[in-house]
Structure 1
Amino acid sequence: MGDRLKVFGIDIVKGSVRSRSRRPMYALVRMDGSRIESETEVSLFRLFRLLTAEQPDILAVDSLQEIAADQHELFFFLQGLPPRTRLVQVTGGERKESLQKVAGRYNISFNKFDPFAEARTTAQVATLGAGAEVIAFENESEIVVSRHRSPGKGGWSQNRYVRKMHGAVQLKGREIEQALVTAGLRYEKKETRAFGGCSRVAFRVFAVRDQVPVSTYRGADVQVRISGKRLERIRFRPLSAKPRYLIVGIDPGTTTAFAALDLDGNLLHLQSSRQMTMSDVIEALYKVGKPLIIASDVEEMPFTVEKIRRAFSAIAFTPKQDTSVETKMELTAPFEYTNDHERDALSAALDAFRQYRHRFQNLMKRIPSGHDLDEVRARVLRGQSLEQVIGEMNTVTPVLIPDAAPVTVDEKHDERVRVLDGMVKRLRAYVAELQEEIKAKDYELHRMSSRLKKVSTSRDAALAKNAEVVKRDAVIQSLKKRLHKEERHNRNLVKRLARIRKFAELSMEGDVVPVKVMDTLTKEGLRKLADDVGVDEGDLVYVNRTDGWGRSIVRDIADLRVRAVIVAEKNLAVGDPHLSLSFREAGIPLLSDKETITQVRGKQGLCAKEALESTLARWKGEQERHEREKKTELIEHIFKEYKSERGKVVKKGG
């Protein structure tokens, strides 16, 4: 018979590892093979006592949070386990599942509100190979032999007492060294010499803790502590290397897509690519699991899909007729996919699962608890009867070694055997040398990796600091530019305020009237004037140049309701004759600088108040006469049109 596993399954009954007042109490179920030995409630201290005394193969938990509050406590917990005892989290490693889901794979049901039922289920599924082993230490261990008590202040027999302790430490160190040499383990030794022997002996052993042939020891004078070298991060190793069975749907073509489901219909993998070959698909599926059923969405399986099916010796599934797009969309509605090829592959896998689902459900009702459902379903689909499968899984056939028949060997054959034996011994010695060289190289590689990691860490810190400095410098430069811009804007506003204040002061004097100066009679000139001193209703505007004017600028000035526009006499004399007419039609006085006696200096000017009033009065008279002439011309035009229309009517009547 094969060796039976001894498993401890635990679950918290009350308390918590995070609480200082209520320490945890555990429901402990001890199993030997498939037989439950006992169920009891224990404290953490009592649990360690039982682990040390019985040294089971597996300590099974459904969550690491039940035994350690953080990673530091988990390392401490693992350090206290016996060397041969493995800590297994039955709900998985990095990607955890619920205990109910894990137990469901073995057709096991339990009351999740009963801690003893959970501990019993945890132990059962661990016995069946569920979960992942917690790996926390590297392939290196440390053994420290030291004094178990202090030498004290001394007395008449102080020297004899100290010499006895140091001699015991040295003797224990030599015993451990002999055990390491006998086991063929590579190690490094460091002794701290003291009066009468050694006060401390440390061994650095290049092997995992469970391979070290030394146990933790505490005597009257000497203590031995064994610890493994911690990993930087906890790792998980699956307890069973058996791959999961899959239902795979494949859509071949320019873009190849495949979808992988487990036998319960859960989507495990969905992928598509234009560069994926048949070998790439096979390799990707090997990483996910072992295909049991390979399906296609067309009635006749494509040749490419058939070759992949043969590579896995999988069961073929094709629909009775090609699957319609509506059916594909209905099947894949609960899932997310990125293109039509992934949709087709997923629909093929889901269609195959739908066809086999009722058969799987009927099998689950007939399979006894404690059996791997996936393995049973896979064997039944391949043609075995359920009774045959259950019988094979329950029976372990012992391996019998038949008695060797006497063989007569002649002398020549005996000589050849001796030669071959010598060759084997030499090859084994050479292999041992190569293994030692490999171990030395591994150690050097590990040392250089640690050194490289330290250099990379310091370099990353320097780069991060430099990047932060560059970022701050950029922010400072941006703020400086913004400050300079705001300072220039502030200076412009101060100048503008001074001009407006001076203009207001000039407006209060009685003999002259202030004039605002506009460079050109254009929209740009008007905008600059508005930004500089502003344009208000009733202002006098002096224009230096009238070239480039247009009717739109005349309308804009009219909308601002300025009092009058003053231009140089020469511009009126040689300028555009339509300029005066446009201003008259807009109702804005267009005056000359000589008539108004206007003087301009820079962006401000002054005109005589009396000359301005007389010139405006004359312009208003001309404006009234111009409007009367326009009305007269309009009446004459209307009369002529009427006379013409009347003449046409008389001729038609005649």
Structure 2
Amino acid sequence: MSTRTSALDAVVFGVDIQSGDVRGDAPSYALAVFDGEDVTRDVVTHRKLRRLIDDEEPAIVATDNMYELAADKDQLIHFLGSLPAGTKLVQVTGAEQPEPLSRVANRHNVPYGKEPMQEAEAAARLAAHNVGHEVSAFTDTTEVKVARGRSTGSGGWSEDRYTRRIHGSVRKRAREVESELEDANLEYEKDVRESYGGFANAVFTVHARPSDIPVSRNRAGDVRVEIERQRRDGIEFEPLVKRRDHVIVGIDPGTTTAVAIVGLEGTVLDVWSSRTSDTAGVIEWIVERGRPIIVAADVTPIPETVEKFRRSFDAAGWTPESDLPVDEKQHRTRDHPYDDDHQRDAMAAALYALDAHEDQFDRIADKLPPGVDRGEVTARVVAGEESVEAVLRDLDDDEEPESESTEHEPRELTEEEKRIKDLERQVERLQSHVETLEGRIEDRDDRIDELETELGVARREERKEVRRNREVSRLERKANRLERERDEAQDDVETLERKVERMKALWKLDHSNFSDVSAEKEGLVPVKVVEKFTKGAIREADDQYGIAAGDVVYIRDASGAGRSTAELMAEFEPRVILKDGGLSEIADEILFESEIPVGPADDVAMQEVDELAVAREDDVEAAIDDWRERAEDRKRDRKAAMVDQLISEHRAGDNEV
């Protein structure tokens, strides 16, 4: 119903300048502390006043001129920002164009005197009755910022872990703040800047004053919480109670009480009814909507309840000559909405009262000079039964002394004081600039920390990529090597497969009936073919189908063999060597000494099967027998030659004797 300050829950500071001037000398202030019943008075310095405001946190600091507390707009904004969360600065004389304090005090029947302490007390009492405008430089929106409490640093093996811990702490505290805002049912918007391991910061724009937010400004370890109200574009004034001008009130009493508020121009401003509100509640509702100059009823004589309301407001009363008929009330209120018959009757009473005084209101308006409050004059003429001329004279008489009493002319400053003032303003500008630069530096430090974190992450990713590329290269080389080994193994397998096939063919030669050979089934032997009598050809034949002891070997071209080739062949211990072409003496000698038979291939009938060959056993034996005969002859010839040589040597020895 009412926002009126109560002595039970609030204290009001009334302030007026006692001596000096806020723009020059250090001023002193008359301070009246009003708790709704008692007034405590004191004279304090500006510093002590600020300290008392911080310590006691009054609901209102009231003054007739806000620039008695601050020299200019910037200082006023600073003063407003330093007030406790629950404290308002109220200018009781109005908004941009304040009235004299004496006039406001007289209008509201508040004691007034011209002494500073009396003016301070009047300001306190007026503010306690919700008279005046709150001076505001801030909105009802507050920014809560959760950010890092320390820099993430640079370098060090544990930098990543340290950064993750700080950002994780910011994220944890931000979630706690969000939970507290949710529990308090506060509307907010959240803006989060994520970073490595958590949040770099989180900003909550809360639609509430700092005093309504269950979060306090603090700095603990890795996290800091900052709270700042959003600034308005300029200084704004908000009335403590949104009063309308002087009004006409219609009341319909009874079990259900209805009240209608009508402006002097005939506008229905509000209508209301209630079965539970008492007299005080009805009065509170009316006070919040205007200042009655006429209280009207729809019946005559005026009901006792309506008369009590009239006396409460010291307003004029109005009743019709006879009770208003229902059809007339319906007709008069046809253009205005209402919820029930009680509201209709109250509205009809107010509108008929307006009709009855309409001519009087017009005459008053015609006599008023420009700039004079029509409602004030009308109220005094109608309710106070004064003449328009008397009211205007009274207002003119109040104007001069009041303006003198409320105006505090500053004394002329000395050159030194002017210089000090200029330097103070310069210092304030520089301090403001320094604060701006510090804010920019802090933002840039945060940005640098964020970029360094991102750079560290990028470097780690780059190192991981390099390691991945190195591993990929290593695996590719290994894959290529394995592919080569696979190809080589496949070649070896193919070679071995060919060798197996040749071995199978040899086995067939040893065990088959050779049905595809045009010879008798029995008496055949396999022949291992060597293309040339060289070490390479011998090894190649051995690799292909193997040369074992007792094999028959056929050399297609036996010419050109040397000692080592003959020795290599002798190591295989073949049964017989069949050859085409001439054999060197050295090779023939080595094979003879190794007792390996050698015979011409023409003496043996052979038939080739693929890369192998077969020969008749009889022919092979005949070739061997032939070699043996030749070998016996060769041995005899060698012995005979040796005997002849011995005889010759013996004879030669005898001749010498």
What's the TM-score once normalised by structure 2's chain length?
Answer: 0.37
Instruction: Decide which structure has the larger Cα Rg and report it.
Output: 2
What's the TM-score once normalised by structure 1's chain length?
Answer: 0.38
